[in-house]
Homo-oligomer: A and B are copies of this chain.
Amino acid sequence: MTQVAKKVTLKDIAEQIGCSKAVVSTVLNRSKGNTGVSQPMREKIQQVASEMGYRPNYSSQSLARQKTMTFGAFIPPQPWGSIGSTYESVIFRGIEKACQELDYDLLVFNRFGDQRHENCVEKLYQRRVDGLFLLHAHGGSDWLEGFLKTGVPIVGVDYSNPEDTVDAVTFDNIGAIDLAVNHLHELGHRRIGYMGLCTDRHVPDHVLRRNAYRVAMTSRDLPVDEAWIFDETKQLIPDHVVLDENQLSPSANYILSLPVDQRPTAVITYNDKLAVNLIQDLISQGIEVPHDMSVISVDDSDICKMMRPRITSMRHPLEEMGYRAGYLLHQRTLAENNDAKPIHELFTSEVVERQTTLCPR
């Protein structure tokens, strides 16, 4: 009973009715070849099309219209993985919402980093997509040029340090850290630390956030004790090193190594994962969170809600960013000349106060 319904084409309908393909095309697919079609003819065509189960052929339409009505989404290979997946999911939700509204489909390139970017570039040359979302890449990447040369419109999403040659939608990293410091400061903290990454790779966001932390502190006349900053300068952990799961996390270890009276009363962590490990380790060592130490993390992934105590975190408007990126890309697609100045939009993050921040003892 699997009657692979013989595909019905415009020609079939035209023959059935006894008119030309052009009229049928005009009525069914709003093609602009013809201006006016009489009401009776219009209805007749619609009726027959419906009876025969006509559907426009996608490939054919793409060829004729020189448009695939598809956007691609490219995610560069990431060594960090794990928590990233939900992070991207939220951006995706926004992108998809926009795409649905604009009637674009979404092609996933390299969702998990196995595919090299050269493959993606080839797809662009083949005009497989009308535009491309570039997810959390960062400025200065050597391969960006390859994408741009294809002439296919590109919008970066969560693209830190965007160069002047590409549209980008980003959240305000510096502002986020400033708000975090502000939150702790308002609670009465003055001894505020920053727990960052220990990797030997260059992670732009880490550098950005650490600098932003220093600026936010000094702009409030708060002291910055180098002992409150934990990062690769304190303990370098190359990416290939696998930490023993039964040991305390490096950041917890570090804080515990500080004399009690020299510890910060609150810390900002580079991301949620660091916060999760830190908090659990501190609690296991008898340091109460938030009573003995406040912790605020950055990114506000699902895990912040699931942990007890629930983690105070900086939430970025990732979904809005993705949504906005969709419309920006659509704009570029419509534009005749793509010489228009690249657009950089900055989104503001917010504090989501939960249970890991409190006034100091």
Contacts and interface: CB of A to CB of B under 8 A. Distances in A.
A247 interface: no
A115 B100 contact: yes
Contact of A128 (B7, B89, B105, B125): B105
Contacts of A284: 308
Given A62-B62, A151-B4, A245-B310, A96 B108 contact: yes
**Complex copy number for this chain:** 2
A282 to B, nearest CB: 11
Contact of A86 (B85, B92, B122, B273): B85
Contacts of A126: 55-58
A128 B92 contact: no
A128 B105 CA distance: 10
A306 B273 contact: yes
A2 B62 CA distance: 24
Contact of A68 (B58, B82, B302, B305): B58
Interface in A55-74: 55-60, 62-63, 66, 68, 70
A127 B276 contact: no
Contacts of A51: none
A354 to B, nearest CB: 9
Contacts of A53: 125
B56 A59 contact: no
Q: Which of the four size classes fits the interface of chain A? A: 35 or more
B127 A59 contact: yes
A13 B163 CA distance: 36
Interface in A19-65: 53, 55-60, 62-63
Contacts of A97: 112, 114
Among A58, A82, A123, A273: residue with most chain B CB under 10 A: A58
A303 interface: yes
Contacts of A127: 7, 55, 57-59
A321 to B, nearest CB: 15
Contacts of A92: 108, 111-112
A333 interface: no
A107 interface: yes
Given A59-B68, A68-B59, A338-B2, A112 B96 contact: yes
Nearest to A86: B85
20 contacts: A2-B338, A4-B338, A55-B122, A55-B126, A56-B126, A57-B127, A58-B62, A58-B123, A59-B59, A59-B68, A59-B127, A62-B63, A63-B63, A82-B302, A86-B86, A89-B111, A92-B111, A93-B112, A96-B111, A100-B115
